[in-house]
Amino acid sequence: MVAKTPAAFLKTINRLHAGAHVALAVSGGGDSLGLLALAAKAKSLKNAPKFSVLTVDHGLRPEARREAKAVANACKMFGLKQVTLRAKEKLAPRDIQQQARFLRYGLMAAWCARHKAEALVLAHHQDDQAETVLMRLARGSGVNGLSGMAEKQLLTTPSGELVLLRPFLAWRGAELKNIAKKAGLQAGEDPSNGDRAYERVRWRQALPQLAEAGLSVEALSALADTMRDVRTSLDAQLVTWLETHARWHDYGVLCLSREAYKALEAPARARLVAAFVRYFGAHTHPLKRAQMHAFAARPLQASSGGATLGGAQLRWRREVVFLGRELAACPPRAPVGAKAMVWDNRMRVKTTQKGLFVAPLGQAGMQALREAGATTAQKGKFDTSLPACYIAALPAFFKGKRLVACANIEPKTGFWARSVYSQDLYLQILRGGQHW
């Protein structure tokens, strides 16, 4: 049984991420107010980090501004810094909860990056975990999906990467609400929490009946723990395989021994490819299981060829299987300057020249470089060890529509582009793999 104390909360935070500054996501609901009350007492304990409180107003409900104000007042009472982040763009009516989630994490990731907060603490608890497992079970998920939410997760957002911490996955939601109540905090209530139009709400309402049949919150949480252990073992096996049979090309392309790839068992092969497709495509939802198995099997069916799926490009030749970014899925152009930025999750880029944009090189850019006599280590030619489709997906620097440079192919003073990849990234990518 986990002790429900500020000291236990702080111990879990420091076990997950020993940072000097962490942010707390506090919406004003009972769960997040329990997090706030615990942090208010934990902040004076030894080895406590600096806590900052973030509240997001999505602009969807008129009550949200009042709830954010209530969180701000509570933080003032507790001596905690609080910031309300407000959405500037309107959300479309379709899949509004998912859009709100993307918006929320994007805003908080941007704030954390600006203010050097190293992680974001969430109030997800054991009841939330049980609901997550039920939803994934209903969708036919396998090991990854049934492992539920992780205590620590690296989330990629348009505003950058964000480390999420979930210290309450062994706590019940009622316990957090009770902590908030004892601290004198009055929770707001989002009416969508009772709207059966949402899948999570339907499972939440079904949990009491499922518990009577033995499928309790605790049992579902234990299943997630077991599946996480299985997943950890599978990931370790694939990392060992990758360290032996894979390498990163400087252009950000994964190169695999085709002979070793063909020798992998089908589930391991599909699991491997699924993780990298999700990474390259920045997917938040899994691709269909049968679709992924078929995609991963393509290099077994012909001596050479290619296929695309979910923003990833799969190519194979006699001895090598390549997996990288699909040109058509690359992001639109973005301003670039002297401060290094991560472009498309793959490349860190910067330039000393002003007024430039970064965008994929493209076929036209490749042709322009050919005509200009582009040079590489390959004696005046493009690096032909890679299929040209991956070269076209490299970042390039543009002045308006005019290509100025592609630092990966033709080094040029004032322009810089480097792949973010390393072998250390293998496990991170696998842990962010498909929720099967």
* Band of residue 428 on the pLDDT scale cut at 50, 70, 90: confident
Taking residues 174-202, report their average pLDDT: 86
pLDDT of 115 strictly over 50 = yes
Q: What is the pLDDT of residue 323?
A: 96
Beta strands in 174-325 (DSSP E): 246-248, 254-257, 305-309, 312-316, 320-325
CB atoms under 10 Å from CB of 204, counted, come to: 19
328/398 Cα distance (integer angstroms)? 18
To 10 degrees, the CA torsion angle through 42, 43, 45, 46?
130
CB-based contacts of 106: which residues, under 8 Å, 6+ apart?
A: 157, 158, 159
Contact 53, 81 (CB under 8 A): yes
CATH H superfamily, domain 6-221: HUPs (3.40.50.620)
What are the tokens at 347? Answer: 């490349």
- Whole-structure pTM value: 0.81
Strands 119-121 and 356-360: what pairing? unpaired
**Residues 348-379: pLDDT tens digits?**
999 999 999 999 999 999 988 888 775 544 44
Q: Domain map of the chain by residue range? A: 6-221, 246-328+424-431, 331-419
285/322 Cα distance (integer angstroms)? 23
Distance of CA 208 to the CA centre of its chain: 32
pLDDT of 119 strictly over 90 = yes
Out of 156-170, 327-341, 416-430, pick the least confident.
416-430
Q: What is the pLDDT of residue 285?
A: 63
Domain 246-328+424-431's class?
alpha beta
Average pLDDT for the chain: 89
